[in-house]
Amino acid sequence: MQIDRVELADCTSPERIIAEILRQVPDLPTPVPIEELATAVGITAIHRMTTDNFEGGLITQPERRDGVILVNGKANRLRQRYTIGHELGHYLISAHQPGDSGQFACSKSDMNIRKADRDNRSQRMEAEANRFSAGILMPVIKFKTDMRAQGGPDLRHVVDLAAKYDVSKEATAIHYSTYHHDLCAILLSQNGTLRRIYKPTRFPFVEARIGTPLPHNSLSARHQTDGVESDDVDRGVWLANLHRPSSIREQALNLANGWKMTLLVVDDSDDDGEDELRDTFDVWENPRFPGKSRRR
């Protein structure tokens, strides 16, 4: 694989860098060989380390002559692939410069930043590195083509796409809910407690809160078997604005270690976007106030 880094120099956003890589390597394989790609742009080594101090790191110079990526070797293989993509984002986005330490050291929480405060430079860099990692591992043009070929929203499609792109089901769920042509949201819970909500801005407000039990009358709360189960449920189980059509489609899928994935699908012709005022696209549990949530 050969990449002309001179052509990347003027690309200032994750999306423009990805587009230029795909222009130079139009036959980039799926799944993306992320380590080979890193080598092609000047990463000289990827070191897997046993550490609890960081999830990934990057050692390089301000002018980016070359670089070394550090990865938490205790993380699973899919997490390591995502981490390499994240650090590669820091390396290729020239505006990203390390702090006083002279190197990037990224925590697990950094890998979860999707939105950032405009005035928080560190958050902005981490969010951009995450956009790069997801975008290069699951190029949007290819990903959308694969989704359209599968048809309507279905958690089985999320599982299949995760396997095809060799990424985690959670990373796939974020991409899937963001780019699907139908209006859908994907929620993750563990041991009956809601932990993640992924949805596009135009999806209606989700009343269920991070850190609270799944709604008792939801399909997900009672789903215990293997495989995907689907049902039409009352809209008020999950969503606000009860004057809208009374039912939505819910799917549930049990994952490993008590985790469960929930898919909510609404007819976008029934929603006019007024719920955007209460958007929860990327809500996470606030560690200082368990059971409450913060918005980024």
Q: Over the chain, what HEC string results?
A: CCCCHHHHCCCCCHHHHHHHHHHHCCCCCCCCCHHHHHHHCCEEEEEEECCCCCCEEEEECCCCCCEEEEEECCCCHHHHHHHHHHHHHHHHCCCCCCCCCCCEEECCCHHHCCCCCCCCHHHHHHHHHHHHHHHHHCCHHHHHHHHHHHCCCCHHHHHHHHHHHCCCHHHHHHHHHHHCCCCEEEEEEECCEEEEEECCCCCCCECCCCCCECCCCCHHHHCCCCCEEEEEEEHHHCECCCCCCCEEEEEEEECCCCEEEEEEECCHHHCCCHHHHHCCCEEEECCCCCCCEECC
**Domains of the chain as residue ranges with CATH:** 5-137 (1.10.10.2910), 171-294 (3.30.450)
Name beta bridge partners: 43.
Answer: 67
Taking alpha carbons only, the member of 216, 211, 189, 205 closest to residue 292 is 211
Q: According to the model, what pLDDT value does residue 98 have?
A: 81
pLDDT tens digits, 261-295:
999 999 876 555 444 433 333 333 344 334 444 44
Q: According to the model, what pLDDT value does residue 270 have?
A: 55
pTM of the model: 0.85
Taking alpha carbons only, the member of 266, 115, 157 closest to residue 203 is 266
Distance CA 289, CA 139 (A): 36
Q: According to the model, what pLDDT value does residue 10 have?
A: 87
Q: According to the model, what pLDDT value does residue 244 have?
A: 61
CA 216 to chain centre: 27
- Point out the residues of the chain with pLDDT beneath 50: 273-296
Taking alpha carbons only, the member of 84, 92, 89, 11 closest to residue 45 is 84
Name beta bridge partners: 56.
Answer: 71, 106
Distance CA 246, CA 267 (A): 11
Structure tokens at 128: 């951009």
Strand 247-254 and strand 259-265: the pairing is: antiparallel
pLDDT tens digits, 95-139:
998 876 668 999 999 998 888 888 898 899 999 999 999 999 999
Phi/psi of residue 67, nearest 5 degrees? -165, 165
| Cβ atoms of 137 and 32 closer than 8 Å | yes
Distance CA 266, CA 264 (A): 7
Residues 6+ apart with CB under 8 A from 268: 182, 183, 202
Residues 6+ apart with CB under 8 A from 120: none
